Amino acid sequence: MKLNTIFCVAGAILLNIAGCLGQSDVCGQAPLNTKIIGGQNATAGSWPWQASIHELSTGRFYFTGTLINKDCSYQCGFIIVKIKLTCIYSINVSDIVIYLGRLTQNGSNPHEISRTVTQIKHPNYNSLGYSLALFQLSSSVNFTDYIRPVCLAAAGSEFPAGTESWVTGWGSISAEGEKHLLQLPDILQEVENPVVDNTECNNSYGGIITDKLICAGFLNEGGKAPCRRDFGSPLLIRQGSVWIQFGVAVFSRGCGLPGYPAVYIRVSEYQDWISNYTSSNEPGFVSYPIVPVIVSVLDGGSVNVLSFSIALTFSIIPLILHFF
């Protein structure tokens, strides 16, 4: 699984869970994922938030998405064009179908469900960092071991260089230049990538990497990166037993050429924007790494619900013990 030269991409996050607190309790849990080290083919239920986005009329695979709550979708949405147009406008909303619980594109998927899309929301596009979109689903979904929402990186989250992460998708497994073949895998692919320092990544790409972007991949090794049709693929990290999405694939050079890590939208930069459209049913936003909530308060930062609940729990325990 690799990524192409330039992806005109707009993330797509499948939305809806059960409120802020309830969402933090359910998001990012993958009971069937026992991943420790790298692999290629994923297994059923390994990435239960993975969404496969298709053209309803033809069945053509568009790109990848990520379930973030019961009713919507977050993942990519621009397709490469010769002029800088957001191809999201050329996609007929009524002709989009999203599959959840899918592992294989051609075989049997006994745990799969599908939903159509009712509307698309995205920021005003003017650069790679704004290539993000929310797809509203036609109806809510019931969570199972094979279909669950992912947690999203909260504002202020930090991912230093070398942080191990995972990227998943059904994009091309043939490198750019291989007779221009678009060889799509049948089974969902997964690859482990370390985070690359933004300054170093910016040097590779000649100054296009902004604070709204983050890079991951290998500077001295090729072939382990997203590729064509992987735009929108999630970049994920595990904190304890919780999986957090902190990136959306938008760009790479040569499907993982050495010296050119893949570029992702930094999800934590969009918490307010995502919350604006999911205010009645917010995704689970989780800070990475988790820090004592009192530090965030003293620094004038926002208090993450999950961090606050953890801090509150540990502050109440001594008080309860005092009465015994």
86 in any annotated domain: yes
* pLDDT value of residue 155: 97
Helix (H, G, I), strand (E, B) or coil at 11: strand
- Domain that includes residue 315, residue range: 294-322
Task: Tell whether 309 and 189 lie within a shared domain.
Answer: no
The answer to whether 38 and 224 are in contact (CB under 8 A) is no
* pLDDT value of residue 24: 64
The answer to whether 53 and 65 are in contact (CB under 8 A) is yes
Cis preceding-peptide flag for 289 (omega within 30 of 0): yes
157 in any annotated domain: yes
Residue with tokens 């999986």: 243
Task: Tell whether 275 and 137 lie within a shared domain.
Answer: yes
Residue with tokens 């060889």: 183
Backbone angles phi, psi at 90, to 5 degrees: -90, -5
Report angle CA 236, 91, 127 to the nearest 5 degrees.
55
The answer to whether 226 and 252 are in contact (CB under 8 A) is yes
CATH number, domain with residue 47:
2.40.10.10
88 in any annotated domain: yes
228 in any annotated domain: yes
Task: Tell whether 156 and 41 lie within a shared domain.
Answer: yes
In the chain, beta strands by DSSP E: 12-15, 50-55, 61-69, 72-75, 96-100, 113-121, 133-137, 151-153, 164-169, 189-196, 213-216, 234-239, 242-251, 262-266, 285-286
Pick from 252, 268, 86: which is nearest to 176 by CA?
252
Task: Tell whether 312 and 250 lie within a shared domain.
Answer: no
Task: Tell whether 314 and 221 lie within a shared domain.
Answer: no
Q: How far apart are CA 203 and CA 27, in angstroms?
A: 35
Task: Tell whether 69 and 178 lie within a shared domain.
Answer: yes
Task: Quickly list DSSP for 93-138.
Answer: GGGEEEEES--BSSS--TT-EEEEEEEEE-PPPSSGGG-BEEEEES
Bridge pairing between strands 96-100 and 285-286:
unpaired
3 in any annotated domain: no
Task: Tell whether 202 and 306 lie within a shared domain.
Answer: no
Residues with Cβ within 8 Å of residue 128, at least 6 apart in sequence: 9, 208, 210, 213, 250, 251, 263, 265
Helix (H, G, I), strand (E, B) or coil at 22: helix
Q: How far apart are CA 224 and CA 161, in angstroms?
A: 17
Tens of pLDDT along the chain (324 residues)? 644 433 434 344 444 333 334 366 778 787 766 553 334 788 888 999 999 989 899 998 888 889 988 876 654 332 222 222 344 556 688 898 999 999 999 989 999 999 998 888 777 766 777 778 888 888 888 899 999 999 999 999 999 999 999 988 887 665 554 445 567 778 898 888 899 999 999 999 899 999 999 999 887 765 565 666 667 889 999 999 999 999 998 887 766 678 888 899 999 999 998 888 887 788 899 999 976 544 444 445 444 444 433 333 333 333 333 434
Task: Tell whether 239 and 115 lie within a shared domain.
Answer: yes
Task: Quickly list DSSP for 199-234.
Answer: HHHHHHHTS---TTEEEES-SS--S-S--TT-TTPE
239 in any annotated domain: yes
Count up the domains in the chain and report the number.
2
57 burial via Cβ count (<10 Å: 0-12, 13-18, 19+): exposed
